Amino acid sequence: MGSMTIGAKYKTTIKDPGTPGILRMNDERFTFTPNDPRSAMKFNVDFRTIKGHKFNKVEGNKAALLNLSKEDKAGGYIFEFDNVGNRDLSRDFVARVLGKHQGIVPPRPTVTPENSVASAALEQLSAAEVERRVKLLREDSELQKLHKKFVLGNILQESEFWATRKNLLEDEANKRSKQRPGFKNALVDIKPTTDGRTNKVTFQITPEMIHQIFAEKPAVRRAYLDFVPKKMSETRFWEKYCRAEYLVRTKNTAAATAEAAGDEELAIFLKNDDILAKEAKMKIKRVDPTLDMEADTGDDYIHLPDHGIHRDGNKETVDADSELARRTLSQDLNRHAAVVLEGRSLGNVESTDPKTLAEALVRSKKEPPSTSIVDDANHERLVKVARMTEIEDLQAPRSLPYAPLCIKDPKEYFDSQQANALRSLGGSNDGRKARTCSLSTEEAFHHLMDQMSSIKVNKLNCPIIQSDMALKVLNELNEGISRSRRLNLKNPQEGLLGQLPQHTRDELMDHWTAIQELLRHFWSSYPITSAVLYNKVQRVKEAMTQIYQKLQLIKESAQPDVRHEISRLVKPMTQALDAAFNHDVEQQQKSSKAGNRHNGF
């Protein structure tokens, strides 16, 4: 399956700052070699000792962690990665390897059923579907366990197992199409930090900021592509840029002009962004100002004098002849807003290298000027329609169209059907007419009056409930209630499960999930209408019998002090299984009774 080498930091605990190094993983083992050759943190571990992996959700400044836990939960290895992407890659790799080691075989597209499993038609699965299933199995270890037990144990088939989990698969598919995070809303503000003692001013630029700067100021981008690395190094370029920003910020126009005159690169940063100006002009040309409110001459703000307040808040108008850019706050905001709304058009460019970023941006911005000349109305309309992009997050969840709930026609419940139904079930026929009263009105009333007088005579002599019996039952119930109260109040923290040993608890939970899954398939197969369902029910029944026996075993072998608790826990499970078995027996009896309808099941 390959191997993987990635840089990571190994931490012994979460708080540990971590030892940077290289993490190498392959199918059998993984090794960590710290960068510092003197460090003692190197190790070489077999994947077989790793039983699970956990990862944290990365929010804000939290580090991306991956935790490989050892078998007896005695410890684990925590790795910190530089970014979420790396962590996710490692995590997927680890999951694959662990899956292989723990014997999970991802389903193949053409499952050939074995002879013991009576087969349905071959399931045609697309590769995407298979991938989704594997991913789900990887991420949910409970599901993995169930899958292993049932599908690989030939009790259930792949298709049946996944039939009830369609919504999970669908969610998985929808998760893929994530909305890409866009640019930050805040203006790119390169604020320097000053060292109080010396005259140094420090600027900090992150790759994210560089991306934003390139997107907002195409002239800077062009300058970058032109100058770096031919004319100057990257650091030098950014130094000049920061210097230009600093000069603008400190309103030092005199110094700015002086420096611009001296340093032509610096001058570029201080001038108006001519690429933007060109774009604005083109936009205006393309638009019919009577119809489209999108762009008008107001966009051409660069040439309008005295427009808006300056970035640092003052309103004074500067000398109109100055070539230096008069960047006002509104211009910056507008440009920034336009860029943010455009979104990140380079979804796949993950590299932080400014050079590649700049080139990619240039490529994406390149539009053949001929399209702006096409005046075809249809084309314009089509273009506008295409621009109404779907925001995936705001769409309603595309859930599978489930089969609608079928509430039977209430008329079926009512009288007309009952006689037929009863007859078919062999019950006694209640449809016969009530015994007609042959008495006349007077006689009938007379009879009733007699009854009433007999009531008055007998009063309430018929005992509904025997009083001594009732007293006995009440006393017993009271005792039971007070006993359980006493027991429960003694250990308020420990629930029922707390008193059991760990392994019994785990076993019982496993059995319970298995029973739920089996019962779900069992009950959904009724009424049995085909041989396939019949075979499925047989298989499921076998599995249920096995679990039933295991439960009995647990109950019997329990320690005397926890026996009561265990039997209380096991009782609902056995009851559910009993109900299923009884139903099956009844159905078999019915079908054997109606012998001539025996279709060879």
Residues that bind other proteins (CB under 8 A): 410, 412-415, 417-418, 421-422, 425-428, 430, 432-445, 447-449, 451-456, 458-460, 462, 464-465, 586
Minimum CB separation of residue 113 from other proteins in Å reads: 37
Nearest CB to other proteins, comparing residues 291 and 460: 460
Give first-to-last CA distance, the chain, whole Å: 46
Minimum CB separation of residue 584 from other proteins in Å reads: 14
Strand partners, 4: 25
Separation of CA 461 from chain center? 68
Nearest CB to other proteins, comparing residues 417 and 488: 417
Minimum CB separation of residue 449 from other proteins in Å reads: 6
Minimum CB separation of residue 402 from other proteins in Å reads: 22
Is 483 in a helix, a strand, or coil?
Answer: helix
Question: How would you class 476 by CB atoms within 10 Å of its CB: exposed for 0-12, middle for 13-18, buried for 19 or more?
Answer: exposed
Minimum CB separation of residue 459 from other proteins in Å reads: 7
Cα–Cα distance for residue pair 544/547, rounded to 1 Å: 5
Number of CB atoms found within 10 A of residue 1's CB: 9
Minimum CB separation of residue 583 from other proteins in Å reads: 11
- What are the percentages of helix, strand and coil residues in the chain, rounded to 5? 55, 10, 40
Give backbone dihedrals phi and psi of 486, rounded to 5 degrees, phi first: -60, -45
CB 584 within 8 A of CB 537: yes
Nearest CB to other proteins, comparing residues 384 and 593: 593
CB 280 within 8 A of CB 298: no
CB 227 within 8 A of CB 237: yes
* Assigned token pair, 530: 């085909």
Minimum CB separation of residue 80 from other proteins in Å reads: 53
* Assigned token pair, 307: 């427009």
Nearest CB to other proteins, comparing residues 337 and 444: 444
Nearest CB to other proteins, comparing residues 37 and 463: 463
Nearest CB to other proteins, comparing residues 59 and 430: 430
CB 203 within 8 A of CB 190: yes
311-336 burial: b if 16+ Cβ within 10 Å, else e: beeeeeeeeeeeebbbbbeebbeebb
Nearest CB to other proteins, comparing residues 141 and 418: 418
Angle at 90 between CA 84 and CA 96, to 5 degrees: 135
Nearest CB to other proteins, comparing residues 455 and 481: 455
Minimum CB separation of residue 458 from other proteins in Å reads: 7
Minimum CB separation of residue 414 from other proteins in Å reads: 6
Angle at 263 between CA 254 and CA 280, to 5 degrees: 80
Cα–Cα distance for residue pair 363/339, rounded to 1 Å: 16
Nearest CB to other proteins, comparing residues 197 and 432: 432
